[in-house]
Homo-oligomer: A and B are copies of this chain.
Amino acid sequence: MLNFCELVFSRTLRRKEPNMRFDNLLADRTSAMDVNVIREILKVVSQPGMISLAGGIPSPESFPMDIIPELASIVIDKYASMAFQYDPTEGFGPLREILVEYLRQKGIKSDKEEVLVASGSQGVLDAIGKILISKGDKVAVEAPTYLGALQAFTPYEPEYVRLDTDNDGLIPASLEKALDIGGIKFIYLVPTFQNPTGRTIPIERRREIAAIITKYSALLIEDDPYSSLRYRGTDIPTLKSMAPDNTVYVSTLSKVFAPGLRIGFCAAPELIRKWLVIVKQGTDLHSSTFNQALAAEYISGGFLARQMPKIINLYRPKQEAMLSALEKYFPPDFKWSRPEGGMFLWVEGPEGFNMENLNHKTMQKNVAFVPGKYFYTSCGEGIETMRLNYTMTDEETIDRAVRILAEVIEQER
């Protein structure tokens, strides 16, 4: 498993698939695309007996399984064959309408024309890459950043510009410096409960970022899958609400409904959304009509509003269990994020501590996590970091897993 940095250096070695039919047919872009980290993570998750703190997967207990038969029956009665027919690329009309209201509750003003549905937020990110990135174009991302976004953008062969972060997420001066140098096609951020760090950019810093983006007429992709998973504190306005004309707001129903339905969406400035629709036509024509209809009824029927407290009450104790266990077991020279929501904690060991080595050792004791280095685009960064997920594990097991991690850390030093 290579990270992006190692991959770049291994390209000359790997240009062709040895001894396989059609190896001479692969497009140039495939040379940048062999990083299959999410896949490896999912494989680890599926090994029997493994306690996985590695995934980024919602708990199946968060899915509204008791409501789904009713939703299916409402959709079949209300839309009949329409819910199973080809549908416009932009998205299913009733879903786009209710998403306008959903966004309004998040402080984002939009209209139906502005809201597009995609096959997961991954579908939005792929389309963003396809319409904006020519080979060698610069895309600015946080260090560390969300791996799935890199997997969406990398096939279009961008060069990544690294933005500095601290405990409050993106450092505005780092963004301004990058924009000042110029040539940045767009900036990609996860401002709230970021994957992988769990960090949230505070409101003052958001205002600074919005001002910088507006000043430079830059385009921001604000990816916001987690803000509804808030266990403490109060909502922070989105960057989209502060710089609406410069921001593509991307979100998903994967964490508040069901990821298997593959419903993502975005609210985008006019030219961007025109092109998102054109490329989506070529990519998958449109997203599942039936699933979009289920999502429309889930939100408009008030089911989402009733489900959210259940999801929060499911995850809050898990997060608290992990924070307590870290406090209880981890050595004093290890630090971690204390987010008010989301699905991840970020742990930083002392300088030089190798979390990948640790992961190999802990997996022998049936505990897996993701070494943080995989979330960086630059070489040698994040060696001493780890991402911990708590949504798939019960509180008792979380406590045990963190204790095992701490024990192996002690043995290693």
Residue numbers in B under 8 Å from A342 (CB-CB): none
Contact A89 to B39, CB < 8 A, known contacts A22-B271, A284-B123, A285-B262: yes
A260 within 8 A of B: yes
State A89–B130 Cα separation when bound (angstroms).
Answer: 20
- Chain B residue with the shortest CB-CB distance to A88: B42
Residue numbers in B under 8 Å from A69 (CB-CB): 72-73, 76
State A148–B84 Cα separation when bound (angstroms).
Answer: 20
Q: Is the CB of A271 within 8 A of B81?
A: no
Residue numbers in B under 8 Å from A68 (CB-CB): 76, 84
Residue of B27, B33, B261 touching A156 (CB-CB under 8 A): B27
Q: Is the CB of B279 within 8 A of A155?
A: yes
State A271–B261 Cα separation when bound (angstroms).
Answer: 29
A28 within 8 A of B: yes
Interface string of A269-309 (1 = CB under 8 A from B): 11110010011011111111111000000000000000000
A17 within 8 A of B: yes
A134 within 8 A of B: yes
Q: Is the CB of A33 within 8 A of B284?
A: no
Q: Is the CB of B72 within 8 A of A84?
A: no
Residue of B148, B245, B258 touching A285 (CB-CB under 8 A): B148
State A85–B56 Cα separation when bound (angstroms).
Answer: 12
Which A positions have Cβ atoms within 8 angstroms of B?
A: 17, 20-23, 25-30, 33-34, 36, 38-39, 42, 57-58, 60-61, 63, 65, 68-69, 72-73, 76, 80-89, 119-120, 122-123, 126, 130-134, 137, 148, 151-152, 154-156, 185-186, 217, 219, 245, 254, 258-262, 269-272, 275, 278-279, 281-291
